[in-house]
Amino acid sequence: MSHFTYRKRVLHAEDVPLPAIAEAAGTPVYVYSATALREHFQAVSGAFGEHPHLVCYAVKANSTLAVLRLLAEQGSGFDIVSGGELARVKAAGGAPGKTVFAGVGKTPEEMAQALAAGILFFNVESPEELELLDAVARAQGKRAPFALRVNPNVDARTHRYIATGLKTSKFGVPFEEAHALYARARKMKGLEAVGLDCHIGSQITLTSPFKAALTKMGALYKELQAQGHALRYLDVGGGLGITYTEETPPSAEEYARTLLGAVGKLGATIVFEPGRSIVGNAGVLLTRVLFRKKTPARQFVVVDAGMNDLMRPALYEAHHGFKPLVQRRGKEVEVDVVGPVCESTDVLARQRALVLPQQGELFAFMSAGAYGMSMASNYNSRPRPAEVLVDGGAWRVVRERERVEDLWRGEHP
C-alpha cells in the first residue's frame, strides 16, 4: 500500500495526513487513494501490451460512483451482476458498450434494461437463462450477444466461500454441456454467441489455477469456432489476489504472461474482470477507539467501526492490518479489536500485538478498498460510513455519511 505511508510517525494517504480527514469527516470513514486506483488499473491493463484486451472492472468490489468515474476515465469497461450496478455504471459515465453482465439470477427486467442500454454481452449461466434471454431479446426485436459461463472444475485454492469454479459451485454450466448448449442457442433467433467465459474464484495467489482453467477453456474455444460459432471474446474472469498479510500474489505481468501463454494464440479479444487487485489496496477504513475492556481471557479494544461497516472478517475470517494513525512507543500487548455490533462475530482483528490503544485514538484498517463499503449494511440500525477520495494533497467527501433519518426512508409505520 505504497500510497498509505507514515511521515514523521503520522499515517498519510498520498500527501494528506489521515488524522485530519478523521477529525473533519468523522469516523468510521473509508478513504481511497486516486493515484493508487489509476496505477493499479494501468498496471493490469498495460501488462497485456498490444494483445487485444478489455479490462472490465468488477463493480461488486467497490461500486462507489467516484471510483467508477475515475476508472471510466482511465478507459475501463465494467463487469456487473445486477441492474443496479448497470445504473451505477451509467450514472458514473461508464460505457454500457464496454460492460458485461454476469450472475446466476438475472431477472427479465434486468435483461431488458441491459439489452436496451447496449451492453457488450451477457455471461449466461444456465440453460433456462438462455431461454429467457432469447425471449427478452425477441420481444425487443434484437439478438442478445452472449458468452456461456463454463465451469472448468478447477480448484482456485482460495477460501471456500469465494471459490466459484468447482463442480459444487452454483456458478456456470458444466464443462461437458458447453457444446450442446451452444448448438441449442444457435437455433434461438434472439441470441448471438460472441464469446466464451469462465471465472474460478477470488483472491487467487497462484498462477497454476489460472493456467489449468484457461488451458481447458482455450481448447474449448477452438472447438466451438471449428463448429462454426463466430466467437470473438474470451472472458477469463478475474480473481487475482492482493497482499493482506504475507500473501505473494502474481504480479500483473506474471498474470498476463500466464493468461496469454494459455490462450494468446486464439485470436480472441481477452476480457478480464479485476476488482480486488485494483481497489483492495487503494483504500482504508478509519476508526476511533471507544473503550478498552479486560477479561480473564482477553484484552478487548472496542472501536466505532463494526461488522456492518467491514463485513469481511466476520464473513471470511479475513485479515486486515490495523495501524495507528499516529505511532506511539511503548510495550505491546495482545488485543482483540471488536466493534459495537451485538454479535460475537463482530471481531475485526484477532490477537494483534499493539501498544495498548487509548480511548479516542485513531486507527486504520488497511487493505479495505474491496468488499468494504460495497458490503456495508445498516445492521443494528447503524448509518453507513462516509467515503473520501484523496488525490495528491487534496481530498473530498464522495459519499456523505448516512443520517439516522435515512434508515427508515421508504418505511410506513
Q: What is the DSSP letter of 140?
A: T
* Arch. (CATH architecture) of 103-272: Alpha-Beta Barrel (3.20)
All three cell numbers of 394: 487534496
pLDDT higher than threshold 60 for residue 201: yes
On the question of pLDDT at 197 being above 90, the answer is yes
Distance of CA 187 to the CA centre of its chain: 35
What is the rounded CA–CA span in Å between residue 103 and residue 144? 16
* Residue 211 CB contacts under 8 Å (≥ 6 apart), including other chains: 258, 261, 262
- Other Cβ atoms less than 10 A from the Cβ of 10: the count is 15
Binding site residue list: 239, 273-276, 312, 316, 343, 371
Q: Over the stretch 5-34, which tens digit does the pLDDT of each residue have? A: 999 999 999 999 999 999 999 999 999 999
| Per-residue pLDDT at 397 exceeds 60 | yes
Average pLDDT over the chain reads 93
Question: Rounded distance, CA 175 to CA 66, Å?
Answer: 38
Which helix (H) or strand (E) segment holds residue 260: the answer is helix 252-263
CB 275 within 8 A of CB 62: yes
**What DSSP string describes 20-63?**
HHHHHH-SSEEEEEHHHHHHHHHHHHHTTTTS-EEEEEEGGG--
Helix (H, G, I), strand (E, B) or coil at 370: coil
pLDDT of residue 165: 44
Here the cell at position 2 is: 505504497
Helix segments in 74-207, DSSP class H? 83-91, 108-117, 127-139, 178-186
Lowest pLDDT segment from 208-222, 306-320, 360-374, 378-392: 208-222
Please name the residues in contact with 61: beta carbons below 8 A apart, sequence gap of 6 or more: 275, 276, 278, 279, 280, 369, 370, 371, 374
Segment (H or E) for 289: strand 283-294
DSSP state of 405: G
Domain ranges of the chain: 4-32+280-408, 103-272
Residues making up the chain, counted from first to last: 413
**Where is the binding site for pyridoxal 5'-phosphate, in residues?**
239, 273-276, 371
Global model pTM greater than 0.85: yes
Taking each helix axis as running N to C, give the angle between helix 208-226 and helix 178-186, from 0 to 180 degrees, rounded to the nearest 10: 40
Tell me: the pLDDT tens digits for 143-193? Answer: 999 999 998 877 654 444 444 445 667 778 988 899 999 999 999 999 999
pLDDT average, residue stretch 327-355: 96
Residue 372's Cβ-count burial label (10 Å; 0-12, 13-18, 19+) is: buried
Given the residues 342, 381, 393, 412, the one annotated as active site: 342
Closest CA to 51 of 253, 275, 223, 222: 253
| Residues β-bridged to residue 77 | 56
What is the CATH code of the structural domain delimited by 4-32+280-408?
2.40.37.10
Residue positions in the annotated binding site for substrate?
A: 276, 312, 316, 343, 371
Q: What is the pLDDT of residues 246-258, one digit of tens each?
A: 888 888 899 898 8
pLDDT by residue (tens digit) across 113-129? Answer: 999 999 999 999 999 99
Lowest-confidence pick of 76-90, 105-119, 211-225: 211-225
Residue 67's H or E segment, with its range, is: helix 65-73
Instruction: Please confirm, yes or no, whether 198 is among the known catalytic residues.
Output: no
Which residues, other chains included, contact 334 with Cβ-Cβ below 8 Å and sequence gap of 6+? Answer: 299, 351, 352, 353
CA pair distance 310, 308, nearest whole angstrom: 6
pLDDT tens, position by position, 64-80: 999 999 999 999 999 99
Residue 163 or 263, more confident: 263
β-pair type (347-355, 29-33): unpaired
